[in-house]
Structure 1
């Protein structure tokens, strides 16, 4: 298996002055000197250029249910080979994958695999897709794009799990190679983004509008609700109305439960009733498909027809139950189309989580 490339060349950067170069990948626009790293940790200045230091290196691989990304309307029931690297371009105080996304240790990247190896392994394992997740694939864009290309050659889909914090020019290239995405809309408040993520809201909204208007990528949204921070009725109303007005009513929304982690151990877990309330607000504002996550809520995790209201896809955690979609994705009862990417029959992967070592061929 080829060795990782620790100084992989990138193209989204420019020289600022004699001693600094600026990374143009994301809105942070880090200006760094020779030998320094950007805030994301994985993009650095070497020989006067921005390079990616984690190409071909992963924090680990695992086969997950696609519903765990979460994607409820994309190849339901199928297995997805998931992996990430290290670092992140946001500084979320509540990060629930902080051991990887906040890592500044290369020892975190214990599993080496080049794009062709990942695609071949996914094919051998029967995975319908490969997901770039655990930390944001935007920061390892070149590795993710090359892996997506290799996957497409074998008929395997590419899935991005991301915060959507990317600049306009690389955004076009990145999503050109993605088939599906779950975008984390962390809040509908600039104050929240600035205070708790070190980022800004508008670039994320711009990414969402771009996905809707300029691509064919299937995408869904996740909103992690943190008690006292982004769970007010006012904010939920503003956010869900914006989604319907700008993205349309058929973009699924997942309201997910927070648990104390990283630098927000002083906040309590999200009560299940908060998620139910958020789901009800979304539905009342015209969102057709709203789900609860990180809690056991079979009703809140299942899909219902917008035409007749009957159960279409039953979910209990990540296990599928009743299935009432036709082969072309319509309600068996009334014929209303259910938006998404569906196969003639659902997958049967279930809730299994299977770690994979790339070296174990």
Structure 2
């Protein structure tokens, strides 16, 4: 059999490449004669640039100096492929850049992402695709917009400090973005608006370190900033668009710049040639760290499963943990936690656990 292994990252434990290698190793232990092909994928979050670099033969990696979510120096990479630049927002404002005790979306900023984009613009990029995901920020992209030439001011004309909480005092956004007519695409599979129960703050703020007491402050701050930014940048309704709440509101910032939202999963799958790889396989295996009902609503697993279905190929999911154990569009859902007896056990040796899961599934697959 020809097995296509096309997982996303297992957040916090394995990159997509490491997950694909673990699944392939476990599968081959049980079925040595099967042919495995590894095709790591990404949806716009961490790993986005790595996956595209492997898929685009003429692309080159560019390293620049930027700042992390707390303003400290960080070296960040992005990808250039002709006139297109591919950027991970997490390269400069990712949650992984902060220790758990440092995570505080009241203070964290997207300014570093603006520095990366500025470099791409100044070196001739005409189209910039930004993968949104894994951010430590909740500033609606205000920091990024500042790095691009805009200024957020309070009622007294003072420049606002960085961070999501400071936006509560925003009374004007002045200046012109130094983007030279570049076309922006925000690659995300999050369709949340900026505000509300499924918006940037209430849906994603807690995982970035926001306490319950911080949520009303951050929500009202984003609402104040959105009202002013939509007015001053002449972009009415930007905060309500699907995807505006992605990456702590970075989605809205790109809408303010005239950008559009694009499915990160579709973009990546198209770039790596997923369709042709599925057509050449007998079985497709995908996976991610946590698989739940949302995973099949526009996320990477849904894209892989849809491609497999279109070619009449069965599709299996192997996940770190799974909240659902079956789905009519899938040939099976399997999790490391079920195999080893819990999350704590699975986290002790994630690679070994995924290898063992793949071996177990392979032995029972017919």
TM-score where L is the length of structure 1? 0.29
Q: Counting strand residues as a fraction of each chain, which structure ranks higher?
A: 1
Higher relative contact order (CA 8 A, sep 6+): 2
Q: Counting helix residues as a fraction of each chain, which structure ranks higher?
A: 2
